[in-house]
């Protein structure tokens, strides 16, 4: 795109942007003729992808701002009217602690109102899982949560939900994107007018109370918590996000001793105590771990800003803490849910657990040990939610009991159709108490699972490629992986390749014999190694980066520490080869 076109787009944006601050940013760039910054803000429109929007906050078509949010909401409103002609439509909107989240949420509500769609807007910040819950409770047709999840402070985003409380999937996602791209005029009305017409309704405590009651109601052993809960010390951090209200209310209401990290309790879009407000990052839990050591905590917990993810650390028995990966906690929760359903005689005839294709295979082995079927789906919790919905209507007889993905997402209930860090925190507290009642720690139980099923460990590698050329670089890496696939990884032969974009898998020694893959299409490549290890490659759906995942397994054979060493050595070799692929881009 030539610079004159860039400047023309910048001037068009200034004419259409109602927010003076965002408009002024671009006007100043035009006055300075700042080529580099203008190109970055206008070489493309911020893409409304299959999950919504996410980007840097600022003026421009390639930024998160008032105009971009209004245009996206207009597209969603237009699609709703076409998908449900003649219906009396409604939407629910929530937002987190990020900069401009409250502004963007109100702007979205007023666009819905301007299109005759009733907007239920939370009166203050709320977590993503409560938004999903509210869509179902209020029988709304769509939902929006304004959040950039665990991204750095400069980002914000916008996730769209359908009437089942799950993020939109085909065909709705494609239809919404087409409508967003076709927007010419945006319908909106003033806040006072929307309130007077009943098209803007504030919601809060009624949904809060029901949501918290649901979370408590999904626990298995309230009597155990009542008996032993006062002896369990929980240190918790919401990482300056939305989680404190519900985590404190639910866990504290159960009688558990919860201490929230004081420096991180208050919502703050600057996230001043962390580089990344991400419970996957060890540095983000430093204050919580320090407090946990000081207080002798039994478990340390952290939720991300919109409280859909949960990270934990458990005592190592030596006065310190071990950070638990998403795969490890997901496996512990799968084991606990299935064990509890079995003990209480509540296991369905055809229980189903769901995991993403890059989540540890340990969870499949755990599920099968309890007589459950473990289904796999694409990365993204909307696909887990989709299977949960389909089980209810497809006549297969399967009943959803648990869903998880490696990126710290867990679902232990059916009332929410997205990952839920609040309910996962409550279930994790109960699980910790349960194993204590058996004379064991979470670490003890995790090691028992490894002895039973084999030792599993995973690594992830991510590489960012920013700017207008980033997408082409990532596409080039994926193309080369397809046309010149590695014969070995970590010194181990590749015996099967699965291309989920082409929906086929094959043995590299017999490439002419391809088998069909029963999944929706997605730009993912998976390499299955001779020793059972799996390596996956996929571009991120929300950030300008490519991600590799590697999972290795080794039989313990009475020597768990030996199995851990063997797996770590293999992962180091795979890590070396993957970095070489990236360096040769």
Domain assignments of the chain as residue spans, ordered by start: 44-203, 210-452, 455-583
Q: What is the CATH code for 455-583?
A: 3.30.310
Q: Which CATH superfamily is domain 44-203 in?
A: Alpha-D-Glucose-1,6-Bisphosphate, subunit A, domain 3 (3.40.120.10)
> Are the folds of 210-452 and 455-583 the same?
no
Distance of alpha carbon 81 from alpha carbon 78, whole angstroms:
5
Residue 161 forms beta bridges with which residues?
143, 167
DSSP state of 167: B
**Across all residues in the chain, what is the average pLDDT?**
95
Q: What six digits make up the tokens of 492?
A: 């181990």
Distance of alpha carbon 14 from alpha carbon 6, whole angstroms:
13
User: pLDDT by residue (tens digit) across 355-374?
Assistant: 999 999 999 999 999 999 99
pLDDT at 465 over 90: no
Could you tell me if 83 and 175 are in contact, meaning their C-beta atoms sit under 8 angstroms apart?
A: yes
pLDDT score for 49: 75
User: pLDDT by residue (tens digit) across 519-539?
Assistant: 999 999 999 999 999 999 999
Residue 70 makes CB contacts below 8 A (sequence gap 6+) with 18, 107, 108, 111, 186, 188
Distance of alpha carbon 383 from alpha carbon 379, whole angstroms:
7
> Distance between terminal CA atoms of the chain?
24
Sign of the CA dihedral running 9, 11, 14, 16? negative
Distance of alpha carbon 425 from alpha carbon 414, whole angstroms:
16
Residue 352 phi, psi dihedral angles, 5° rounding = -130, 130
User: pLDDT by residue (tens digit) across 171-219?
Assistant: 999 999 999 999 999 999 999 999 999 999 999 999 999 999 999 999 9
User: pLDDT by residue (tens digit) across 67-89?
Assistant: 999 999 999 999 999 999 999 99
Q: Is 149 a catalytic residue?
A: yes
| Full strand arrangement of the beta sheet holding 299-303 | 257-260, 233-237, 299-303, 310-315, 321-324
Q: How confident is the model at residue 37 (pLDDT cuts 50, 70, 90)?
A: very high
What is the value of pTM for the model shown?
0.94
User: pLDDT by residue (tens digit) across 412-439?
Assistant: 999 999 999 999 999 999 999 999 999 9
Could you tell me if 543 and 151 are in contact, meaning their C-beta atoms sit under 8 angstroms apart?
A: yes
The b/e string for 364-374 (b: 16+ C-beta within 10 A; e otherwise) is bbbbeebebeb
Q: How confident is the model at residue 50 (pLDDT cuts 50, 70, 90)?
A: low
Three-state SS at 67: helix
Pick the catalytic residue: 90, 97, 132, 149?
Answer: 149
CATH 3.40.120.10, domain 210-452, yes or no: yes
pLDDT at 47 over 90: no
Distance of alpha carbon 139 from alpha carbon 519, whole angstroms:
29
Q: Report the pLDDT averaged over residues 237-248.
A: 97
Q: How many CB atoms lie within 10 A of CB 528?
A: 18
Could you tell me if 165 and 61 are in contact, meaning their C-beta atoms sit under 8 angstroms apart?
A: no
Three-state SS at 62: coil
């Amino acid at each position: 795109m030539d610079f004159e076109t860039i400047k023309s787009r910048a001037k068009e944006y200034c004419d259409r942007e109602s927010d003076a601050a965002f408009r002024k940013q671009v006007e100043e760039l035009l006055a300075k003729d700042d080529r580099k910054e203008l190109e970055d803000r206008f070489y493309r429109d911020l893409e409304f992808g299959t999950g919504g929007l996410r980007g840097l906050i600022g003026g421009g078509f390639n930024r998160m701002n008032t105009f971009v949010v209004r245009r996206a909401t207009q597209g969603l409103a237009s699609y709703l009217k076409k998908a449900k002609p003649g219906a009396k439509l409604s939407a629910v909107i929530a937002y987190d602690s990020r900069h401009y989240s409250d502004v963007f949420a109100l702007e979205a509500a007023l666009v819905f109102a301007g299109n005759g769609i009733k907007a239920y807007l939370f009166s203050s910040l709320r977590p993503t899982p409560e938004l999903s819950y509210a869509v179902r409770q209020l029988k709304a047709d769509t939902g929006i949560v304004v959040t950039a999840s665990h991204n750095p402070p400069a980002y914000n985003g916008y996730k769209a939900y359908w009437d089942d409380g799950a993020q939109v999937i085909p065909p709705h996602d494609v239809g919404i994107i087409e409508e967003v791209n076709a927007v010419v005029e945006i319908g909106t009305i003033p806040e006072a007018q929307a309130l007077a017409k009943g098209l803007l309704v504030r919601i809060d405590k009624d949904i809060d109370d029901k949501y918290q009651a649901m979370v408590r109601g999904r626990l298995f052993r309230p009597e155990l918590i009542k008996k032993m809960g006062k002896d369990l010390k929980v240190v918790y951090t919401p990482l300056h996000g939305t989680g404190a209200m519900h985590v404190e209310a639910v866990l504290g209401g159960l009688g558990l001793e919860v201490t929230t990290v004081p420096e991180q309790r208050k919502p703050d879009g600057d996230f001043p105590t962390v580089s990344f407000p991400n419970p996957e990052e060890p540095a983000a839990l430093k204050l919580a771990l320090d407090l946990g050591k000081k207080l002798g905590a039994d478990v340390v917990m952290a939720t991300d800003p919109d409280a859909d993810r949960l990270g934990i650390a458990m005592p190592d028995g030596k006065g310190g803490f071990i950070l638990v990966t998403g795969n490890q906690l997901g496996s512990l929760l799968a084991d606990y849910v299935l064990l509890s359903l079995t003990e209480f005689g509540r296991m369905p005839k055809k229980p189903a657990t769901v995991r993403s294709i890059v989540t540890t295979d340990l969870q499949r082995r755990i599920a099968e040990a309890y007589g459950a079927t473990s289904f796999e789906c694409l990365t993204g919790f909307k696909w887990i939610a989709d299977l949960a919905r389909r089980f209810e209507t497809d006549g297969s007889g399967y009943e959803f009991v648990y869903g998880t993905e490696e990126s710290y997402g867990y679902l232990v209930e059916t009332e929410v159709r997205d990952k839920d860090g609040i309910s996962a925190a409550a279930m994790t507290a109960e699980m910790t108490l349960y194993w204590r009642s058996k004379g064991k720690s979470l670490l003890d139980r995790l090691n028992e699972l490894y002895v039973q099923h084999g030792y599993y460990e995973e690594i992830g590698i991510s590489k960012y490629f920013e700017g207008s050329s980033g997408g082409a670089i990532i596409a080039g890496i994926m193309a080369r992986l397809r046309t010149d696939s590695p014969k070995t990884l970590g010194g181990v032969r590749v015996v099967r390749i699965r291309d989920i974009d082409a929906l086929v898998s094959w043995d590299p020694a017999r490439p002419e014999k391809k088998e069909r893959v029963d999944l929706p299409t997605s730009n993912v490549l998976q390499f299955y190694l001779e020793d059972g290890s799996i390596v996956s490659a996929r571009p991120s759906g929300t950030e300008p980066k490519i991600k590799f995942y590697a999972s290795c397994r080794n039989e313990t054979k009475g020597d768990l520490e030996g199995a851990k060493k063997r797996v770590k050595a293999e992962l180091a070799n795979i890590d070396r080869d993957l970095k070489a692929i990236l360096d040769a881009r």
